[in-house]
Amino acid sequence: MTGVEKIIKHIASAADDKCKEIAEGAVIECDRIRAEYAKVRQEEYIKIVNAGKKDVERRLERLTNLAELESKKQVLALQQEMLDAVFALTENKLLGLPADKYVAFLAKLACNASLTGKEEIILSAADKKKHGDKILEAANSALISSGKKGSLTLSEKNAEIRGGLILSGGNVTADCSIETLVSYHRNSLTPFAATELFD
């Protein structure tokens, strides 16, 4: 082998070694880049999962709050319906009192509302027909017993009410209809009724 051939062989061998070294370095660098990328990818994945989890938790909390609010609204609406039913039942109970008690109740209303003892009692058509004279007599009697003038009269007009009466005298009118009485006392009785019904 000549000197030139030896030099060429030596250069080729050195080039092969350098190629192997570069290839091994490239493999190591690729592995390093892959590992680094895998780490970044895992961190990014965890970040996305955590962000998604937080978003789901926020949505769940918002939906839970909305559901609770809607539930409370429905419960309140139902409670309101029940209270309405209670006060409607109260009206019906008053309207359905036995005749003697109903007459006494209306006579007492007229007596308590009377300022002069000379007012006019206005009843519903049904009450006037069934109880008018008895109510008038009982109211005047009660006024006289309490030391007032008992000169109430029964109006020819009919009141557009379910029951109770309207007392009219001069410029003063007292609405003692069952509907108005129940409505008037509703605010003060609602807490009691609510406690009885819902506690």
Angle at 48 between CA 46 and CA 49, to 5 degrees: 60
Which of the listed residues 95, 130, 145 is the one where a domain comes to its end? 95
Cβ partners under 8 Å of residue 95, min gap 6: 102, 162, 163, 178
Q: Give the pLDDT of residue 10.
A: 66
Same domain, 61 and 23: yes
- Whether residues 137 and 110 share a domain: the answer is yes
Is 102 in the same domain as 26? no
Q: Indicate which CATH number applies to the domain containing 115.
A: 3.30.2320.30
Pairwise CA distance, residues 152 & 116, whole Å: 9
- List the chain pLDDT tens, one digit each, 199 residues: 676 677 667 666 766 777 677 767 767 877 787 888 878 788 888 888 888 888 888 998 998 899 899 988 998 888 888 888 888 888 999 999 999 999 999 999 999 999 999 999 999 999 999 999 999 999 999 999 988 899 999 999 999 999 999 999 988 899 999 999 998 888 887 787 778 777 7
Domain count for the chain: 2
Beta-bridged to residue 169, according to DSSP, are: 172
Question: SS3 helix, strand, coil % of the chain, rounded to 5?
Answer: 75, 10, 15
What sign does the CA torsion over 93, 99, 105, 106 have? positive
**8 and 88 share one domain:** yes
Which of the listed residues 95, 117, 143 is the one where a domain comes to its end?
95
| Residue 107, helix vs strand vs coil | helix
Instruction: Please indicate, yes or no, whether residues 73 and 137 belong to a single structural domain of this protein.
Output: no
Q: Are residues 161 and 104 in the same domain?
A: yes
Residues 114, 38 within the same domain: no
Total Cβ atoms within 10 A of residue 189:
15
83 and 149, same domain (yes or no):
no
Note whether 176 and 159 are within 8 A (CB).
no
Domain, as residue range, for 34: 1-95
Q: Quick one: pLDDT at residue 80?
A: 86
Among residues 63, 95, 127, which one ends one of the domains?
A: 95
